[in-house]
Amino acid sequence: MKQKGIRNADVAVLGGGPAGAAIALELLNRGYSTVVIERSDYRGARIGETLPPAIQPLLVRLGIWDRFLAEKHSQSFGIRSAWGVDELHENDFIFNPYGAGWHIDRARFDAMLARWAEKQGSAMYRNTRLVSCENQKCGKWKVEIAQGDQSHSFSTKFLVDATGRASYVSRKQGATRIAWDHLIGIVSFFLSPSRESPIDTSTLIEAVEGGWWYSAVLPNSGRVLAYMTDADLFARARNHSGDYWTRQLAATKYTRLRLENYSLASGPHIVPANSSRLDRVTGGNWLAVGDAAMAFDPLSGQGVFKALQSALSAAESLEKYWNGNNMALRDYAAAVEKDFSSYCLMRGVFYAREKRWPQSVFWQRRISAQIATGI
């Protein structure tokens, strides 16, 4: 393996998803050098989601709003839900000051953010494997990565953990991941027989006895469907039936109708979707952003939004810290904890609206969690 010389940077970011690329961009805008280390090449399938209308000011601040529009993601004009009642309830975005939301192709969205960070001056390493990450006595980090047949070393004064729920860096520093539940998503992608945009572009949420369903339109006129349930409930049911996902879909009232004439493209894929956070999100020369710091139930529809918001807040805190504000990182940590506590309250309120299956283990657990948190 060919060894290249050590490169210096102010900040090394491990993870090139939305949070990692966003903090690299924001730090560049503030005059700091950054290197982003991403294990993928952004070509694989990534679970998409609906962005709320309020994503616009964040993308404007990052300087990529026009580029985002040029990507031609599908607009979302509202959310329909069968939650707590059998009938559909509509919540449209017509009165939102930022207009419509968006159904995004996550792979394309993440790649766009990474390209823009690279164009603005960040060193971007894709398809890389982390070899070592050493916190040296001098207060700096030495990071070694492998990329193909070459290895690279970096010396950096600060490390950002943007490795998602894995929280790789933070855990290595002794932080502990606290999970509030064991929610997973069983996700499948479907192709449309027509390239024309479907008439119904809303996001659909449908509660069922064992969990709930999410479905949305994709930019290629396809659809993504996800069944959300607890990992142990899924494992137990799958042992009794190999077509568990299909049977659950057949039992829905509205979700299954969205697949008429659609064909399965890939899946089901199982992805973690639990609510969790780190017990501490920063140390003397590292911090966590995005899902690495705190991860939200997809029901909130806030995944990418919170990732970008977290990255921008972290970049601001870092600059204050380097300018002599010794409380800046502690304030960042306090803000993360407050944000997660507020989210847990809202999550509890929303889950409490569903009372149709009092004997369901899935919903009993949500009631118990609501009681435990005093909601």
The residue that leads in pLDDT, 2 or 357, is 357
Query: At 159, is the secondary structure helix, strand, or coil?
Result: strand
Could you give the CA distance from residue 85 to residue 354 in angstroms, rounded to a whole number?
8
Torsions phi, psi for 334 (to 5 deg):
-65, -35
Q: How many helices (H) and strands (E) does the chain have?
A: 10, 20
List, for residues 209-260, the tens digit of each pLDDT value. 999 999 888 777 788 899 999 999 998 887 666 678 888 898 899 999 988 8
Q: Is 221 exposed, middle or buried (0-12, 13-18, 19+ CB in 10 A)?
A: middle
Which residues have C-beta within 8 Å of that of residue 143, sequence separation ≥ 6? 12, 14, 37, 130, 132, 133, 134, 153, 154, 156, 159
What the block records as the tokens of 117 is 């960070």
pLDDT value for 298:
87
Closest CA to 187 of 208, 219, 216, 220: 216
pLDDT band at 199 (very low <50, low <70, confident <90, very high): low
**pTM (predicted TM-score):** 0.90
Could you give the CA distance from residue 320 to residue 329 in angstroms, rounded to a whole number?
9
CA 65 to centroid of chain Cα atoms? 19
Sheet of strand 294-295: strand arrangement: 177-179, 276-278, 294-295
Q: Is residue 328 scored above 90 in pLDDT?
A: yes
Which residues have C-beta within 8 Å of that of residue 208, sequence separation ≥ 6? 248, 251, 252
Sheet of strand 50-51: strand arrangement: 50-51, 101-103, 74-76
Q: Quickly list H helices, the chain.
A: 18-29, 55-61, 65-70, 106-119, 168-172, 231-240, 244-250, 303-322, 328-352, 361-372
pLDDT value for 100:
79
H/E stretch holding 40 reads none
pLDDT value for 296:
92
Average the pLDDT over 349-375 and give the result.
81
Which residues have C-beta within 8 Å of that of residue 333, sequence separation ≥ 6? 280, 281, 282
Pairing of strands 101-103, 89-92: unpaired
DSSP-assigned beta bridge partners for residue 132: 144
pLDDT value for 363:
94
pLDDT value for 256:
92
pLDDT value for 74:
80
What the block records as the tokens of 228 is 């959300």
Secondary structure (DSSP) of 128-147 = -EEEEEEE-TTS-EEEEEEE
